Amino acid sequence: MKAVYPGSFDPITNGHLDIIERASQIFDKLVVAVLDNVDKTTVFSVEDRLQMIQSTLNKDLNLKSKVEVVSFSGLAVELAKSIEADSFIRGMRDIGDFRFEWEAALLNKKLGNVDTLFLMTDPIYAFISSSRVREIARLGGDVSNWVPRSVQKFLSKLN
Ligand code: PNS
């Protein structure tokens, strides 16, 4: 079974990485899909976001063999269909995430008959997000607990 984990990953955090690790144990193949849509502005370019994820995964041979990283634009269901993925994976931190995720999951089911499976975020990452991490880094704070090492280098350019 193959799953797609779509997201902005602006940048990838340890919370995302935890979802990738856990999902890769459930599915035979996991495709991390980085959104490259012109109407969603990101701080990091799609090339940088892909590189941050790839260099993080390269450090783990097991993950490297099971996880592929791609970029996509357009509808996530079109990507899922084109690579014959069975479902989407998304992490859920709290009830605040639920509204968006519920709507997106129903939309994706209706649009392309692709189901979404949710993994509850590990509580140690429940209060972090890419935007918080960027804010802390920009203000000179220590983000080493929240992002992989390869991401720290990119974040240090923000301040
Ligand atoms: O990391 P994010 O920003 O919460 O991820 C949101 C994402 C990329 C999963 C969502 O915006 C998405 O799938 N966008 C692609 C366009 C699409 O398929 N829209 C309909 C479902 S939301």
- Residue closest via CA to ligand 1's atom 3 equals 8
Which amino acids are annotated catalytic?
Answer: 16, 40, 93, 130
Atom of ligand 1 nearest to the CA of 37: 15
Contact (Cβ atoms closer than 8 angstroms) between residue 116 and residue 87: yes
pLDDT of amino acid 61: 84
pLDDT of residue 133: 97
62 confidence band (pLDDT: 50, 70, 90): confident
Residues 6 or more apart whose Cβ sits within 8 Å of residue 82: none
Answer yes or no: is pLDDT of 40 > 90. no
Rounded percentage of the chain residues whose pLDDT exceeds 90 = 91
pLDDT band at residue 20 under the 50/70/90 scheme: very high
State which residues form the domain around 118: 2-158
pLDDT score, position 60: 86
* Residue 30 Cβ < 6 Å to ligand 1: no
Structurally, how many domains does the chain consist of? 1
Query: Can you give the pLDDT at residue 71?
Result: 98
Nearest residue (CA) to ligand 1, atom 4: 7
Q: Is the Cβ atom of 119 under 6 angstroms away from ligand 1?
A: no
Q: How confident is the model at residue 159 (pLDDT cuts 50, 70, 90)?
A: confident
Instruction: Give residue 116's pLDDT.
Output: 98
Question: CATH no. for residue 132?
Answer: 3.40.50.620
What's residue 153's pLDDT? 93
